[in-house]
Amino acid sequence: MTAAPGQQNPEQQDREQQDREQQNKVRLAVVQLVVPVGDPEGNRRRLAETVEEHRDADLIVFPEMFVPGYDLAVVTERSDELAEDAETGPTAVLVRELAAAHGVTIVVGFLERADDGGLCNSLLIAAPGAGLAVYRKSHLFPAELPVFEPGHELPVVHTPAGVLGPQICFEHAFPAIATTQALAGAEVLVIPSAVGADHEHLIEVRTRARAQDNQLFAIAANSNSPGFCGHSMVVDPKGRVLAAAGLEDTVLRTVLDLSEIPAERRREPSLGMGRPHLYLFGREEETR
């Protein structure tokens, strides 16, 4: 069949439709591996090996403090060797190289040395063609308060794998964080965690709630090292579990269809209908 001048033939239209649909698809890998505490070189090697193995993914998410291992006593005692500069440290150099080499966005937890010398529980987000972003945990768990400095921003990060809303572990517990990021354009909440043993119910309830509340995707990448509960999870905008782990070493693979986000928000437009003045400290809504 020949198309009329200025018109596309059906085959061209089908190809373009397929291209548009493919652009909305994000191939995801969520890493849950036991790693030793205090072995950053070995854990960076595990990171690189995992990225190489799953280089066909668009987005790879590792747990909280994956590089140094999560142990507050060890972090405190060995901070001189475990803490890194967010721009020039060995983990930053590595994830930049891996992201560029494989065209993949990488999210990984590390121990950051701030400019003032303090320690931060942070994430590196390396995206091909989009530079390197850093997120510092802003809502610290009580036991972390003597160890880490909190961050003071709730950013969203634009990557080829979607607009990411980074959070870390305990921040799961604050619905306002997810909503703030959703209203700023986040499509995927990435939540590297180190949730303790016997607390897997917190991962399931909070990950599903944050996703459904804000009608976006939520990824909980939790540690399964000794003392932690694993149970990493991927949830869609309806709150449905797309993939879930137990306590075993695993890499969860699934595909996120970002077109589901606007579709779900059209079906139930709750996110854009909030009245925030009513929620803050019980204040009355301002009237004009």
C-beta of residue 147 within 8 angstroms of C-beta of residue 118? no
Q: Reply yes or no on whether the pLDDT at 2 is more than 90.
A: no
Q: Reply yes or no on whether the pLDDT at 11 is more than 70.
A: no
Query: So where are the chain's domains?
Result: 27-258
> How high is the pLDDT of residue 8?
64
> How high is the pLDDT of residue 174?
96
Which candidate in 84, 112, 137, 144 is catalytic?
137
Average pLDDT, the chain: 92
How does pLDDT run across 138-160, given as a tens digit for each residue? 999 999 999 999 999 999 999 99
> How high is the pLDDT of residue 212?
97
> How high is the pLDDT of residue 41?
98
Q: Which helix (H) or strand (E) covers residue 219, if one does?
A: strand 217-222
DSSP string covering 44-62, please? HHHHHHHHHHTTT-SEEE-
Instruction: Using a pLDDT cut of 90, give the percent of the chain over it.
Output: 85
Cα-to-chain-centroid distance, residue 165: 6
Of 3.60.110.10, 3.90.1200.10, 1.10.10.1150, 3.40.50.300, the CATH number of 27-258 is 3.60.110.10
Measure Cα distances from 34 to 31, 133, 221, 248 in Å: 10, 25, 12, 9
How does pLDDT run across 56-97, given as a tens digit for each residue? 999 999 999 999 999 999 999 999 999 999 999 999 999 999
Q: Reply yes or no on whether the pLDDT at 288 is more than 90.
A: no
Measure Cα distances from 116 to 67, 113, 120, 168, 193 in Å: 22, 8, 11, 22, 25
Q: Reply yes or no on whether the pLDDT at 283 is more than 70.
A: no
Which candidate in 64, 84, 171, 187 is catalytic?
64
Residue 180: HSE in the Cβ half-sphere, 13 Å Cα cutoff: 12
> How high is the pLDDT of residue 111?
98
Q: Reply yes or no on whether the pLDDT at 234 is more than 90.
A: yes
- CA-based nearest residue to 51, from 84, 110, 95, 109: 95
For the whole model, what pTM was predicted? 0.90
Which candidate in 84, 144, 149, 169 is catalytic?
169
* 229 annotated active-site: no
